[in-house]
Amino acid sequence: MREARIHGPLIVETVTGGVDLEGARGVDLYVYSVRGDVRLVGARFRHVYIDRVLGVVDFSGGRADSFVAVAVDGGVRARGAEVRGRLHVVGSSGFLDAAGAFKLAVDAGITVYDAAYVVLAKRLDPRLLTLDGELLRKFPDVTFHRE
């Protein structure tokens, strides 16, 4: 899918082999459970969420408003990448339910990115600290805000 133009959320789930999205552009990218490398060189997405990759994630020269990588065994390369907002790279997986996040996003009228955090909060049972008024209103059981 090199140089692809994607006009909605893209979910790449349960792949054996590499994923090549070099130069791709889109809104939200969710990569879950890949047994191989994920190539995102020069890719541009609003939000990138990656969970459980058994290879290397290469985001060199890429751009995103937020980038979250969880449980990437081969490491993350990001030479020359630009992340304008949230950047999280952690070693243990929260096991994102991508289909559940997509369904919640559609049902609640929120982004898939926000829905991924709500789904993780519900699964792992922590409270989600947020300044997002919409999430606070729609999910008071899992969100909170401190003044």
Q: Note the pLDDT of residue 92.
A: 46
Low-confidence ranges of the chain (pLDDT < 70): 90-99, 125, 147
Residue 91: DSSP 8-state: S
Q: Note the pLDDT of residue 12.
A: 93
> CA–CA separation, 139 vs 97, rounded Å?
17
Element (H, E) at 44: strand 44-53
Q: Note the pLDDT of residue 76.
A: 83
Task: Decide the pairing of beta strands 87-90 and 76-77.
Answer: unpaired
> CA–CA separation, 21 vs 91, rounded Å?
23
**Which amino acid appears at position 24 of this protein?**
A
Q: Note the pLDDT of residue 23.
A: 96
